[in-house]
Chains A and B, each alone.
Chain A
Amino acid sequence: MKNSALGRRIIACPYYVWAAIFIIVPLIMMVYYSITNPVGEFTIDNFLSLGKYSKAFLLSITYAVISTIITFLIAYPLSYAMTKLKISSQRMILMMVIFPMWMNFLIRTYSWISILANTGIINNFLVSLGFEPLKLINTPGAIILGMVYDFLPYMVLPIYTAMSKIDTSLLEASDDLGCNGWQKLKKVIFPLTLPGVVSGITMVFVPSVSTFYISQKLGGNKTMLIGDAIEYLFNIGPDHYNVASTLSLVLMVLILISMAIMNRFTDETDEGVII
């Protein structure tokens, strides 16, 4: 019997080796590149040059925070409205919300250019009605729209899942105890969906803060987000790998910190519920 347990433990070994080589070593490589110069000598210059990119960092964080908030404000009522429907319609709408994710996100983003361009669909329509065309493409608004559009399903999915699991008798109980609609939302529904909200927020924030395609296409070339900076540096050649690694490292640390904060948020409320 002992032998079989041992055997079962051993079959994970190929994976451990894989994870060590392709998950841990790459991160060590990233750290190594970020503290050396192109010739391989130790240096902290890469970190000193980060100041040049502070604007890109700030802009990335701002856009990601705004689009995460908007996505949440759209997804939360949507999930709530969905749970009020028949089960079969709920399933169908969920499918329809997820379905665009199966389409290449580059093309989904690009289609927005057709809609927003200076001579695009919206502006053609406005001009034909006799209005002045609007400046829609290559604006911060267009970038945020792209982020909200591309990552909305990631927010709906966990929130809807959490909301559909709420026991309806809890809602009835809160009615009986005299809660009005707002109190019911604040004291019953929201705390129960909080884990879903937290995972939705992380799933939208991480790709938004690190994107480099959406900003290039919908923001024109004048907005440099941190993802753009990293991609640009890697493309101009091996001499710039070091600074690019430093930027990636800082981005990773930034994401880890924000995730830690978010997770703490749910842990504390869990304890609160137990008490």
Chain B
Amino acid sequence: MKFLSKLYIALILVFLYAPILVMFIFSFNSAESVWVFEGFSLDWYKELIYNSTMLTALRHTLLIAILSAIISTVLGTAAAIGILQLRKKITKSLVMSVTNIPMMNADIVTGISLMLLFVFFGKLIGLNESLGFFTVLIAHITFNLPYVILSVMPKLQQTDKHLPEAALDLGCTPLQAFFKAVLPSIMPGVFSGFIMAFTLSLDDFVISYFTCGHYQTLPIVIYNMTKKTVTPDAYALSTIIFVTVFVLLILYNTMQNNSERKVARR
């Protein structure tokens, strides 16, 4: 029984990693095919370095991800604090239902409804091209916000309600009370909200697709690449991203383990 369940887990992992392995192998193919391996080469990686569309898109993706994560973390943390102060139960549950909409809705619906808004108002103020950097940024902030709010809120509920009052009694200004007393105690929630916002934004395709206009992010460029017959350069790019994320995750995990061990030693 124990053997069978281990075998089952192994089979599922094979299923999950087979396409990734394929991508990895064929990114080194010397031929243009993504299914017949003819020989080892690094040509596709070399090609990437000279591919300016791809590098621009990478810059766009990182810029949007960082900005939208920062803005949605600030807005969302403030929102979480304010929402918890709401006294009426109906108002609170109304606000939370609205907050949940971008998370529950299908990406395609969120993307299209935002695009309609942007196009409509672009026409109203007489713009020819209403979609671009700002519309992608707004869209990303919008779908990041519920994740930030929902990761900050539980931490706020766990902190002592009288904490800010105590800080104020001890002579803090309200701003100091927030930064010195409240923020440190909710920091883990704020941080995980930020990370979640960042990764969601980095990976988003569907919503960016409808709101980006000519401002192409990396997933959009990859989509355009896979529209035609794919050459291994798309695989090479994904391998680089995959390895980068993998290394970052390992580093993050070992860092966390180390700090856990330090705490344990104390």
Is B66 an interface residue, CB under 8 A from the partner? no
Rounded to whole Å, the gap between the CB of B159 and the closest CB of chain A is 13
Rounded to whole Å, the gap between the CB of A228 and the closest CB of chain B is 10
Q: Which of B199-228 contact A (CB under 8 A)?
A: 199, 203, 205-206, 210, 218-219, 222-223, 226
A-chain residues with CB within 8 Å of residue B12 when the two chains form the complex: 74, 78, 97, 152
CB-based contact B16/A8 at 8 Å:
no
Given contacts A103-B238, A107-B238, contact A231 B13 (CB under 8 A): no
Stretch at the interface among A45-53, A109-117, A182-190: A109-117
Cβ-closest chain B residue relative to A146: B19
A-B contact count (CB 8 A): 219
Extra contacts, 14 of them, besides A78-B12, A102-B203, A241-B116 (Cβ < 8 A), are A11-B78, A11-B82, A15-B145, A19-B98, A19-B99, A22-B142, A24-B98, A26-B116, A100-B17, A103-B241, A111-B19, A119-B35, A206-B105, A213-B205
Q: Which of B131-166 contact A (CB under 8 A)?
A: 138-139, 141-142, 145, 149, 164-165
CB-based contact A102/B85 at 8 Å:
no
Stretch at the interface among A168-176, A251-259, A267-275: A251-259
Q: Which of A226-275 contact B (CB under 8 A)?
A: 227, 230-231, 234, 238, 241, 244-245, 248, 251-252, 255-256, 259
Q: Which of B90-138 contact A (CB under 8 A)?
A: 95, 98-99, 101-102, 104-110, 112-117, 119-120, 138
Query: Majority SS of interface residues in chain B?
Result: helix
Query: Majority SS of interface residues in chain A?
Result: helix
CB-based contact B112/A234 at 8 Å:
yes
CB-based contact B35/A120 at 8 Å:
yes
Greatest chain A CB density within 10 A among B98, B106, B177 is at B106
Rounded to whole Å, the gap between the CB of B139 and the closest CB of chain A is 8
Cβ-closest chain A residue relative to B148: A15
CB-based contact A106/B36 at 8 Å:
no
Is A180 an interface residue, CB under 8 A from the partner? no
Residues of A at the B interface (CB closer than 8 Å) are 1, 3-5, 7-16, 18-19, 22-27, 29-30, 33, 74, 77-78, 80-82, 84, 93, 95-97, 99-108, 110-115, 117, 119-121, 124, 149, 152, 202, 206-207, 209-210, 212-213, 217, 227, 230-231, 234, 238, 241, 244-245, 248, 251-252, 255-256, 259
CB-based contact B81/A251 at 8 Å:
no
Greatest chain B CB density within 10 A among A106, A117, A209, A210 is at A106
Cβ-closest chain B residue relative to A205: B106
In the A-B complex, list the 3 residue pairs whose CB atoms are closest, starting with the nearest: A12-B82, A111-B19, A15-B79
Cβ-closest chain A residue relative to B15: A149
Bound-state Cα–Cα, A102 to B250, Å: 13
Interface size of B in residues (CB-CB distance below 8 Å): 79
A sample of 9 inter-chain contacts (CB < 8 A) reads: A4-B164, A7-B174, A95-B249, A103-B238, A104-B219, A110-B230, A112-B19, A206-B106, A255-B109
Given contacts A9-B86, A10-B82, A11-B82, contact A104 B238 (CB under 8 A): yes
Q: Which of B49-108 contact A (CB under 8 A)?
A: 75-76, 78-83, 85-86, 95, 98-99, 101-102, 104-108
Bound-state Cα–Cα, A256 to B105, Å: 8
CB-based contact A18/B145 at 8 Å:
yes
Bound-state Cα–Cα, A27 to B101, Å: 10
